[in-house]
């Protein structure tokens, strides 16, 4: 899982065949499908979205995208501080269902997204883009039932601390207790953060980081299988092969040059 840092207050673009591993950020992210189909997972809820469907990921929620064949979608990422009217929703609540299959007033959705995309790309007055986005956000929130979000202290800061530390130390021998000690939290709190925010266990997340690193070494390093195994942080070839197959559905040997 990656913790992204976006500097832009508003980012809008058409993205084709989008595939992005599990990540989170402090911004809101909206996907609106123009063509094809894209599978989106938000907080463990997975949905294959087709033309006219959309999703919304609230701040500091784990989400990822996968395109089975072909997809074209408008991706909107914005800092919710642009709209103080929605602060209560974004700070204290979350959608029960983050997907809108058949949004009411579908034609208005299309017009708003087209206007937002056009004005953003043409660098017109940011207030015009904000106007389109304000209406779009209001329409989405009016159709997406919300539930109270559990307050896990400063979960955003903790998630970023965890991601930063793991990105530097995932190839080392690192238990949950060691991670908790290094960051100054209890291991029970860290475990709860993984379950609630990362959407997986600590061990599963660590395994994925190592497998993804091994994939890069397999295709670019020229190292032997044993060297790749231990360089990626795995304790044995058996655990390496098992984790790799679980995540990629194939043996690492099939990808070696």
**Final residue of a structural domain among 128, 148, 168:** 148
- 8-55: per-residue pLDDT in tens? 789 999 999 999 988 888 889 999 999 999 999 998 899 999 999 999
CA distance 172 to 210: 10
- pLDDT tens-digit series, residues 207-250: 988 988 888 888 777 889 999 999 999 999 999 999 998 888 88
Q: Which of 23, 33, 101 is nearest to 59 (CA)?
A: 23
**112/37 same-domain check:** yes
Mean pLDDT across 168-181: 91
Q: What's the CATH number where 202 sits?
A: 1.10.10.60
Render pLDDT for 66-75 as a digit per residue (tens, 0 to 9). 999 999 999 9
Task: Identify the domain containing residue 90 by its residue range.
Answer: 2-148
pLDDT 10s digits, 33-46:
999 999 999 988 99
Check: CB of residue 35 under 8 Å from CB of residue 70: yes
* DSSP state letter for 238: H
**Pick from 101, 134, 99: nearest CA to 115:** 134
Q: Are both 102 and 215 inside the same structural domain?
A: no
pLDDT attached to residue 152: 46
Final residue belonging to a domain, choices 148, 180, 200? 148
139 and 87, same structural domain?
yes
| Residues 166, 67 within the same domain | no
DSSP 81: G
Average pLDDT, the chain: 88
Predicted confidence (pLDDT) at residue 164 exceeds the cutoff of 90: no
Whole-prediction pTM: 0.67
**126 lies in the same domain as 197:** no
Q: Which residue has the higher pLDDT, 133 or 254?
A: 133
The count of domains in the chain is: 2
Tell whether the model's pLDDT for residue 257 goes beyond 60. Answer: no
Average pLDDT, integer, range 124-152: 87
């Amino acid at each position: 899982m990656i913790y992204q840092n976006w500097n832009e207050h508003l980012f809008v673009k058409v993205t084709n065949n989008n595939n992005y591993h599990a990540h989170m950020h402090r911004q809101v992210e909206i996907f609106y499908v123009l063509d094809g189909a894209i599978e989106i997972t938000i907080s463990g809820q997975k949905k294959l979205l087709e033309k006219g469907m959309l999703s919304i990921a609230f701040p500091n929620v784990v989400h990822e995208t996968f395109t089975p064949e072909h997809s074209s979608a408008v991706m909107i990422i914005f800092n919710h501080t642009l709209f103080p009217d929605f602060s209560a929703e974004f700070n204290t609540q979350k959608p029960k269902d983050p997907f809108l299959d058949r949004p009411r007033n579908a034609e208005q959705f299309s017009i708003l997204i087209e206007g937002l995309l056009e004005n953003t790309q043409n660098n017109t007055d940011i207030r015009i883009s904000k106007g389109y986005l304000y209406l779009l956000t209001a329409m989405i929130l009016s159709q997406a039932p919300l539930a109270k979000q559990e307050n896990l202290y400063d979960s955003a800061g903790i998630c970023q601390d965890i991601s930063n530390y793991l990105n530097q130390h995932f190839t080392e021998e690192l238990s949950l207790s060691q991670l908790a000690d290094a960051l100054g939290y209890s291991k029970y709190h860290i475990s709860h953060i993984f379950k609630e925010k990362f959407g997986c266990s600590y061990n599963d997340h660590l395994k994925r980081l190592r497998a993804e690193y091994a994939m890069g070494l397999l295709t670019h390093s020229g190292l032997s299988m044993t060297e790749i195994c231990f360089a990626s942080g795995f304790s044995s070839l058996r655990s390496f092969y098992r984790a790799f197959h679980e995540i990629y559905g194939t043996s690492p040997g099939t990808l070696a040059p």
